Chains A and B, each alone.
Chain A
């Protein structure tokens, strides 16, 4: 089973310059940030669905379908506890079920899901080397960009390792699902320690391997891959800039907010 999200395809989005992809990530986050109203988030959702279809990224979204469902459901419910505006439609204990709280909670859930979908889409069409290239071109120091790239590359390996460690402890009769929420978190200590120790060991080995391959010898390394800027990159930047401006205007005009009553 693949542990990374990148899907090797030949689509327009895959071929975009890495700096444009990083810019697109920023613009999507920016646009989502300014609005709370679910209706205002719909165009972004449509855009993401179209991009997922266009890049054939559905396998990644399917793998994470439960995460998307849980994010929307729990965020909606959580905000209905704290956002207590508007007349309650029904008495559900700590949950304040009103038109405003439902709209606000669902909007927050949708925002998080769209941020998640943007990230999934970004990682589906971007190699980690392109991420370093994109960040470096946007002024991030090479070492920092490389560190971010390594984090993306290693995170799935650590998750894989955690699954193995959990299996090993379960086979020693350990039960993770005993007790209340805090106890359940505490019960993951026998997983976290081996994973953490393994991560330290791997990081140390990797640091040595990087040094022996000349990492850091030049402040500005060259690149095997070529990332030319073509007219589609320019066109994409113009569209993205328009999108960013448009969402700021929606916010500025007050259309992105939810009325309290």
Chain B
């Protein structure tokens, strides 16, 4: 089945026969000082009441497309703009962003940049105040919007005190108060933990039910299954425009365009079933129908139900180093609390050995980053001991710790400052007082390892997010640490970049560097880690192998971790599979 199409507003609408609400013709935009157009001749039509999902790799043109729809482009961005946009039959030419504010609303990925007031109610009222709305009417609108996003009771709270999911829901409430005709959501869950993602997608589903016109930009195709239509953008052009059932079954096309295809569909595709599964039940039915009685009917058999006392050493077949050695990092009954604050980490014991790949998971505020900062010596435990290579970290200097443990922050821009990529990488080794020859040798080696040799003379600030993330890893690697701590290394990266980053991390791990990776992304945990440490409310809830982790139902029910659908599906057949490929291989041996 071919879903690629010639762009045009008269494309067959997969859901309703309602008139087009928004239409674009030949939409093109080239950013100032860019040789390549970000958008090329996009023609698109959205029917009244539709929810459209927009997918594509980073830089494909998704955000540029959304910015055209609310006139941020060309009003606030320099560049060459072509094409027309009609909203409810009215041309948007010459309309300013502020004039369009009550009609086309946009929720951005960076929720921190959207919130500037001191209370939730003030935040929601801000746009209404700008419209010079009467106070009594404003109060009603504010109350309705807060109710709609489920934040009633939070009216007097400071937005900075909310969780990530609550902040993004507040950002949505702030635009809903305007009663917009169209709501654009630009990767609204990128920076959220699993619980925050669920909150936001549940809200989006409610908005869809209540008849809002929605355009949702998202990397993860799995999250867009509830859309009426999907638009796949590749290199500024429409690569496909179809219903989710059609497009999400096109696994090769999606991955060629840098989109993470739903795991269930990857399984089906691997089994030669070219179809889209709505959920785990649906996928199970399709597989059983195809292979009839040749498959085991085994009920899921959890390995254990209560795993707090599980052996912390991984029993995983993918463990790369053969012989367990002494602990590289040791945390003994460590606790931490800020002055006059509640404990953030409470009596945690943890060992990380040479060559291990440990995933540190848990919802926001569970103490993951604090624990990592204790290990690297940025924070001192208020009780207990942290030791690196057997030495109490409290007695080591920062440079000494830096030689043993590297820490890559979530935001690469928190450390980049040099004029060139090469200088950025050389910064750490120079601080260690190494000879120029050694600094150069290390720089070349790590740039080669992260694939940035060609950009060695480039300005780091001109690199893509994925490249900056790899540069941040390289600049820490140049210190040759034995343990590398990565805080959410794939945030904001598209599927291709995520795979590339993880390939790099695996290679480093194979070379003997122990990895401690803080992540919210379930498939990264199941596909790459050897061992999982789950934190909850400052305490360690689980420490053990990945297979034991994903089959610990009772423990998972107490956490916010969502087991990948592929693993859930595999368990329906009595298997514990950590990736689509592994499950397909196992299934093929059964039929």
Instruction: Enumerate chain A interface residues (CB-CB to B < 8 A).
Output: 1, 3-4, 6, 8, 127-129, 150, 153-154, 157, 161, 164-165, 167-175, 189-191, 193-194, 197-198, 201-202, 205-218, 220-226
Contacts and interface: CB of A to CB of B under 8 A. Distances in A.
B415 A165 contact: yes
Interface string B112-139: 1110111101100111111111110011
B129 A223 contact: yes
Given A172-B427, A172-B476, A212-B72, A193 B101 contact: no
Contacts of A173: 398-399, 402-403, 428, 431-432, 479
A224 B125 contact: yes
Nearest to A167: B378
B409 interface: yes
B98 A169 contact: no
Contacts of B249: none
Nearest to B403: A173
B438 to A, nearest CB: 14
Given A164-B414, A211-B98, A223-B135, A171 B398 contact: yes
Contacts of A225: 122
Given A172-B479, A212-B70, A214-B130, A198 B432 contact: no
Nearest to B105: A212
B258 interface: no
B418 to A, nearest CB: 8
A245 B61 CA distance: 63
A208 B72 contact: yes
A164 B415 CA distance: 9
A165 B130 CA distance: 36
Given A1-B341, A127-B118, A224-B135, A217 B106 contact: no
Among A161, A168, A193, the one with the most B-chain Cβ atoms within 10 Å of its Cβ is: A168
Interface string B74-118: 011000000000000000000001110110011010101110111
A224 B142 contact: yes
A244 B89 CA distance: 62
A254 B359 CA distance: 71
A205 B142 contact: no
Nearest to A192: B417
A127 B159 CA distance: 13
19 contacts: A1-B341, A128-B118, A153-B116, A168-B414, A171-B398, A171-B401, A172-B415, A174-B427, A175-B398, A189-B417, A205-B108, A208-B72, A211-B101, A212-B72, A212-B175, A213-B130, A217-B98, A222-B138, A224-B142
Contacts of A175: 398-399, 431
B206 interface: no
A190 B75 CA distance: 35
A187 B158 CA distance: 36
A143 B373 CA distance: 41
Given A194-B413, A224-B128, A172 B402 contact: yes
Given A165-B414, A190-B427, A198-B414, 15 more contacts: A1-B339, A4-B158, A4-B160, A6-B118, A127-B122, A129-B122, A157-B112, A171-B376, A172-B475, A173-B479, A212-B70, A212-B101, A214-B98, A217-B130, A222-B134
Interface residues of B, number: 69
The 8 lowest CB-CB distance pairs between A and B, nearest first, are A173-B431, A214-B101, A224-B125, A205-B113, A193-B417, A214-B130, A213-B127, A168-B415
A129 B106 contact: no
B416 A194 contact: yes
A233 to B, nearest CB: 20
Given A171-B402, A172-B428, A218 B131 contact: yes
Contacts of A226: 135
B549 interface: no
Contact of A215 (B130, B373, B403, B407): B130
Contacts of B413: 194, 197-198, 201
A171 B428 CA distance: 9
A190 B106 CA distance: 35
A240 B455 CA distance: 63
Nearest to B111: A209
A218 B117 contact: no
Contacts of A172: 402, 415, 427-428, 431, 475-476, 479
Contacts of A150: 116
Given A168-B414, A173-B402, A197-B461, A221 B130 contact: yes
A129 B117 contact: yes
Nearest to B70: A212
Contacts of A1: 338-339, 341
A189 B466 CA distance: 25
A129 B126 CA distance: 10
A132 B218 CA distance: 37
A165 B407 CA distance: 12
Nearest to A126: B118
A190 B475 CA distance: 14
Contacts of B27: none
Given A165-B415, A171-B376, A212 B106 contact: yes
Contact of B99 (A190, A197, A217): A217
